[in-house]
Amino acid sequence: MIPSGIATALVDSWQYFLHLAVVLVPLFIGASFLVGLVQEYLPPERVETMLRERNRGTGNIAAAGLGAVTPFCSCSTVPVLAGLLGAGAPLGLSFSFLLASPIVNEIAAFLLLGLFGLEVTVIYLVSALIAAIIGGILIDLLGLEHLVKDVRITANGRTVATDGGTTTCSCSTTQTKSHRERVETAARGALSFFRDTFPYLLLGMALGALIHGAVPAALLQQVAGPGNPLAVPLAALAGAPLYVSISGMLPIAASLVEQGLPIGTVIAFVVGGAGVSIPNLILLNKLFERRLLAVYATTVVTIGVAIGFGLNGLFA
């Protein structure tokens, strides 16, 4: 016979899992279609072309904006980054794109909206975009271009080389499509994206439900509650080794907030994981010298910490 305490925890976890499923699955389906639609109208090579001729300042704004609306994974983001650098785009502009791409996207926006409401979602998205713009400008001022490797990266049928000012890119020729064809292609792409990514959402919901039902709130409060002045930076650092997908991180984040952790501390955990994930760093290591890789990781953690403290201050 199952002890009553364990039975209660399992029931609580199951109920919270169902709550997350009802809220998140419809949003995730809608976001998946939007991802497919954006990829039809803004494929990686088009984003690269749009940003190549941009200058500092306004270019950083455009790069952060395109990084936010183009839902590329690391295997697509890094070749775009390599193409930008190879074409002579400023390092800071390229960094604004790189910083915004993993932490601001349609999936994050939809799931944040469902979990935390409009106010938190808007503050998060605006803060992350501003941080990506400012971060790129500051990186530009440091003059670290010499820390970019001369490499050739191949991904998704694209070959991009950074060889001191020239760019080679072998991409399949994009055929002109009607809007209806693009929507149909986006729907098929959304189905594929949904199949590939939905397991991470399920994993995140399961872990979130387990935390909600089985982990004592008092323990979480002791480790990462408002009484720990290092909770926000530690959360930003802890996200990296635990990250699998933004869709998997956010249900866990919602569970942590339900258990009483400050919203800013939890968001710092999400930002740190999304930007400094192990797969992302492995790919960037092919493009950046270690010093530049450390600068990137430090910048992401700093963004997570800044947003975390800001949200904690607003929602104290």
Domain ranges of the chain: 12-314
More confident residue, 1 or 61: 61
| SS3 of residue 87 by DSSP | coil
For residue 129, pLDDT over 90 is answered with yes
Mean pLDDT of 154-173: 46
For residue 152, pLDDT over 70 is answered with no
Mean pLDDT of 186-212: 80
| SS3 of residue 160 by DSSP | strand
Distances in Å between the Cα of 192 and the Cα atoms of 35, 50, 70, 186, 187 are 11, 27, 17, 10, 9
Nearest CA-CA partner of 13 in 25, 24, 5, 23: 5
Mean pLDDT of 274-297: 85
Mean pLDDT of 116-124: 91
pLDDT-derived band at 163 (thresholds 50, 70, 90) equals: low
Contacts of 5 (CB under 8 A, 6+ apart): none
Q: Identify residue 157 by its one-letter amino acid code.
A: G
Mean pLDDT of 19-45: 78
- pTM (2 d.p.): 0.76
More confident residue, 154 or 195: 195
Mean pLDDT of 56-75: 77
For residue 234, pLDDT over 80 is answered with yes
Lowest mean pLDDT among 155-169, 200-214, 260-274: 155-169
For residue 195, pLDDT over 90 is answered with no
Mean pLDDT of 245-261: 82
